[in-house]
Amino acid sequence: MTETEILVIGGGPAGLRAAAAAGELGAQVLVIEEMDWLGGQLVKQTHKFFGSKEQYASRRGIDIARILAGELENHDRVTVWTGAPVLGIYEDGMVTAQKDNRHVKIKPQRIIVATGAAEKVLPFPNNDLPGVYGAGAVQTLMNLHGVLPGRRVLMVGAGNIGLIVSYQLLQAGVEVAAVIEGAAHIGGYLVHAAKIRRAGVPILTRHTIKEAQGREVVEGAVIQQLDENWQPVPGTEQQLEVDVICLAVGLTPLADLLWQAGCEMRFIPELGGHVPYRNRLLETTRPGIYVAGDVAGVEEASAAMVEGRLAGLAAARSLGYGGPEAEAYLEDALRQLHALRSGPAGEKIRRGLEKLETMEGVPC
């Protein structure tokens, strides 16, 4: 059995920042990551990030992954396990994981769950044909393994992920036939949209995919206009010749461990689905279990990093680490989060968090 003061589950932007912050205050930390590398989704993000310098704005996600992993090397009380999926959190506070093909037990005093989010899918005829991908899978193929997903892509969803992955496809030399979006407006940052527009890619709002075409693999797609009530407009069907249909229709928190741990959950659509109730310092209803990043509500990576720092500081402080400076760090992290969420781009998140605070969401 491995004992640790703080166990961080997930080595993405939130988890890495949580571990560094807790380590900075002097706590003993174990970071456990299921993949063989640290960084989470950052390792696929070849674009420069938004935000401020506190969240490494202007740096590319791939480089931020390296910076965050490197920060942990400064703390000799921080240990990292990669290639080790966590299997469960039990009633007595024990955590089990798989490591080197063995079933191992971990006994932490505090847990920070930073497991991220999973992609949503979209139901439409033939969506099980090879060639229908999630945007994350396309990024994994291209940016991790150097494999092109196909020659000509229909991107479904004009949020930041749909826009960014379209740009990355263009950079890799893949044609993007169109980006379609069900809503009346582009959901992602308009500067991302402008980048792919000037590369000649049309963005069609109020459009959806009617069906994928093909016998063995994707050979085409039929798209269709939607009216203001999201109903398909007959006669507006267009056939596109594509060999890849890429779905970028949102993320949902990977909250399985929180359910198992008995944390009180709420369904908040604005935050991507079921999220844990928690206090201002990100502690859930199960004392000693904290959350950070997309598992707490789907948001930008910049916010995930700040939440990670906040949870790491709070968990370490609850164990008695850190002097008055810890208080100042906490306030600074809260200030950063507030700033990131305070504009129109944070409106949905604010609405979601407000619902969560007032327990308005559907109780589970």
Partner 1 sequence: MLERTGVPVKEQLDRVQPPPGHEGPMAVIECFQEIPCNPCSEACTRGAIASFTDINNPPVLIREKCNGCGNCMFRCPGLAIFVIDESYSDTETLVKIPYEYLPLPEEGTPVTALDREGKPVGLARVIKVQQGKAMDRTAIIWLAVPKGLGMTVRSIQVGR
- Considering only 94, 121, 144, 184, the residue that binds partner 1 (CB under 8 A) is 184
Point out which span in 139-147, 196-204, 217-225, 234-242 binds partner 1 (CB under 8 A): 196-204
The reply to whether 47 sits near partner 1 by the rule CB under 8 A is yes
Point out which span in 56-64, 92-100, 209-217, 311-319 binds partner 1 (CB under 8 A): 56-64
The residue (of 266 and 309) whose beta carbon lies closer to partner 1 is 309
- Considering only 1, 101, 145, 191, the residue that binds partner 1 (CB under 8 A) is 191
Q: Any residues with CB less than 8 A from the CB of 283 and at least 6 apart, and which?
A: 289, 290, 314, 318
The answer to whether 299 and 48 have CB atoms below 8 angstroms apart is no
- Considering only 103, 145, 198, 215, the residue that binds partner 1 (CB under 8 A) is 198
CA 174 to chain centre: 25
Burial (0-12, 13-18, 19+ Cβ within 10 Å), 185? exposed
Find the DSSP H helices in 268-300: none
Q: Which residues pair with 268 in a beta bridge?
A: 273
The residue (of 270 and 299) whose beta carbon lies closer to partner 1 is 299
Q: How far is the CB of 62 from partner 1 (least distance, A)?
A: 10
The reply to whether 171 sits near partner 1 by the rule CB under 8 A is yes
Of residues 291-320, those binding partner 1 (CB under 8 A): 300, 302
Residue with tokens 């995919």: 209
Strand, helix or coil for residue 331: helix
The reply to whether 351 sits near partner 1 by the rule CB under 8 A is no
Point out which span in 25-33, 125-133, 214-222, 339-347 binds partner 1 (CB under 8 A): 339-347
The residue (of 179 and 313) whose beta carbon lies closer to partner 1 is 179
Residue 237 main-chain phi, psi, to 5 deg:
-65, 140
Eight-class DSSP state of 141: I
Instruction: Residue 38: name the closest of 61, 4, 5, 59 by CA.
Output: 61
Q: How far is the CB of 258 from partner 1 (least distance, A)?
A: 27
AA letter at 222:
V
Q: Which residues pair with 239 in a beta bridge?
A: 222
The residue (of 50 and 124) whose beta carbon lies closer to partner 1 is 50
Q: Footprint of partner 1 on this chain (CB under 8 A)?
A: 47-53, 57-60, 63, 170-171, 184-186, 189-201, 203, 205, 300, 302, 339-346
